[in-house]
């Protein structure tokens, strides 16, 4: 049996770089799988994965988070992204009964706008106590399956009137009329059954952004409707998606192979987004280490400051003075995630929930494989 060839660390690092050239992108295909390199063992090992995998948070706010997953395959990173968008459940308006609508906005358009309004409330009630709703059959009553543990009731009753205190000839509708603008905050939560235990006070069901404009009214116009909120997932409709955006990008790499100094350094800095390239004075130690810098002490040289801010525009590759002085790339196994929550989940909770769902999927698949083998 032929001995197993162990590649050097430099060679392994080289294989992880996606080349960004002036007109092409190279080495985009993953190569770390058994059989690609003859004589090398690339079979998956959990201990090796555990030693190489890292999670680094860049910032973590309630509505937005950014973090890096390092040492992961693109298929797993993309699985997290798809689960975040389409498989984490949230509450959203699903059914609307319009009793009266004399505004200029049509019933179906108004109902569509209501469905896209994001709501928040007590997390224990929304994520743990609330259950899935099953729509009644064609021969059943419309509210046959509506219970306090699967349905949230909202009402909107508003009418526009003239403001008696408005100045004569007032042109601003917000001052001339009362309720000239209908906002998401006008939707009122009507607790039913045990819902008061989970959705009361600061944890009551309410819009995440109360100033979302739903419609405009003029004197004599009114809207009266009732809405039911149910649990759903983004795979059924985008209104159930818990994220505004959930995306990732590969870590940009910038390698300055030859010194760039003087006026070229300032021009090189302008080729990148702010904060990517910095300027430092050339010291005597620098000139001793690199012969090309001798006689340029005191001038400014270009240094890589923060590649995460780079947009990979390739502008530097357009200029002949930088030819053979810089190499651009992206690290294949470093994924920078950006998650923006719509409000029902905290941004960091969303990623942990996606991990739970992926784990559950793997367990179900493992059971199915076991049954097939039997």
Q: How many domains does the chain contain in total? A: 2
pTM: 0.87
Report the largest interatomic distance among the alpha carbons of the chain, rounded to a whole angstrom.
Answer: 98
pLDDT class of 106 with cuts at 50, 70, 90:
very high
HSE of 55, CA atoms in CB hemisphere, 13 A: 10
* Claim to verify: residue 105 and residue 223 sit in the same structural domain: yes
Question: Domain span at residue 280?
Answer: 258-324
Q: 324-339 pLDDT, tens per residue?
A: 999 999 999 999 999 9
Packed helices 74-86 and 347-373: angle between N→C axes, nearest 10 degrees = 110
Write phi, then psi, for 293 (nearest 5 degrees). Answer: -95, 0
Among the three residues 187, 207, 241, which one is the final residue of a domain in this structure?
A: 241
* Claim to verify: residue 280 and residue 168 sit in the same structural domain: no
Q: Can you say whether the dihedral through the CA atoms of 327, 328, 334, 336 is positive or negative?
A: positive
* Claim to verify: residue 170 and residue 277 sit in the same structural domain: no
Distance of CA 335 to the CA centre of its chain: 13
* Strand-pair partners of 243: 341
Distance CA(96)–CA(115), nearest Å, equals 9
User: Tell me, what's the pLDDT at 5?
Assistant: 84
User: Is it the case that residue 28 has pLDDT exceeding 70?
Assistant: yes
Residue 194 inside a domain? The answer is yes
Residue 126 inside a domain? The answer is yes
User: Tell me, what's the pLDDT at 209?
Assistant: 95
> How many separate helices (H) and strands (E) can be counted in the chain?
10, 18
- Between strands 188-190 and 152-159, the pairing is antiparallel
Distance CA(103)–CA(223), nearest Å, equals 7
User: Is it the case that residue 2 has pLDDT exceeding 70?
Assistant: no
* Claim to verify: residue 114 and residue 207 sit in the same structural domain: yes
* Claim to verify: residue 147 and residue 226 sit in the same structural domain: yes
Residue 337 inside a domain? The answer is no
Nearest to 227 by CA among 63, 116, 86: 116
Distance CA(173)–CA(278), nearest Å, equals 52
* Averaged pLDDT for residues 136-149: 88
Instruction: Give the CATH number of the domain where residue 121 resides.
Output: 2.170.120.12
Nearest to 215 by CA among 105, 64, 121: 105
User: Is it the case that residue 1 has pLDDT exceeding 60?
Assistant: no
* Claim to verify: residue 233 and residue 98 sit in the same structural domain: yes
Mean of the per-residue pLDDT values of the chain: 92
């Amino acid at each position: 049996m032929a001995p197993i060839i162990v590649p050097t660390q430099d060679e392994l690092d080289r294989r992880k770089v996606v080349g960004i050239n002036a007109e092409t992108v190279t080495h985009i295909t993953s190569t770390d799988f058994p059989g690609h390199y003859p004589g090398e063992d690339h079979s998956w090992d959990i201990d090796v994965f555990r030693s190489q995998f890292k999670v680094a948070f860049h910032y973590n706010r309630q509505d937005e988070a950014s973090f890096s997953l390092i040492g992961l395959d693109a298929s797993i990173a993309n699985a997290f992204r798809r689960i975040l968008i389409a498989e984490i459940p949230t509450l959203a308006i699903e059914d609307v009964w319009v009793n009266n609508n004399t505004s200029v906005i049509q019933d179906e358009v108004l109902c569509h706008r209501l469905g896209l309004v994001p709501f928040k409330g007590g997390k224990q009630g929304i994520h743990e106590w609330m259950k899935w709703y099953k729509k009644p059959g064609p021969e059943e009553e419309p509210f046959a399956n509506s219970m306090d543990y699967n349905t949230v009731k909202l009402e909107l009753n508003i009418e526009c009137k003239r403001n008696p205190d408005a100045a004569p000839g007032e042109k601003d509708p917000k001052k001339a009329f009362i309720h000239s603008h209908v906002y998401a905050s006008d939707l009122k939560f009507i607790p039913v059954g045990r819902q008061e235990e989970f959705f009361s006070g600061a944890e009551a069901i309410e819009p995440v952004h109360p100033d979302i404009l739903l419609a405009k009214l003029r004197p004599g116009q009114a809207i009266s409707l009732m809405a039911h909120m149910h649990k759903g997932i983004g795979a059924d409709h985008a209104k159930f998606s818990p994220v505004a955006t959930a995306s990732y990008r590969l870590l940009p790499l910038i390698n300055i192979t030859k010194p760039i100094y003087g006026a070229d350094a300032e021009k090189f800095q302008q080729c990148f987004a702010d904060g990517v390239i910095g300027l430092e004075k050339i010291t005597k130690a620098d000139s001793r280490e690199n012969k090309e810098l001798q006689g340029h002490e005191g001038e400014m040289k270009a240094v890589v400051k923060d590649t995460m801010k780079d947009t990979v525009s390739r502008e530097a590759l357009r200029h002949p003075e930088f030819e053979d002085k810089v190499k651009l790339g992206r690290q294949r196994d470093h994924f920078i995630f950006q998650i923006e929550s719509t409000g029902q989940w905290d941004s960091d909770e969303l990623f942990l929930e996606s991990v739970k769902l992926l784990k559950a999927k793997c367990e179900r698949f493992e059971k199915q494989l076991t049954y097939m083998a039997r």
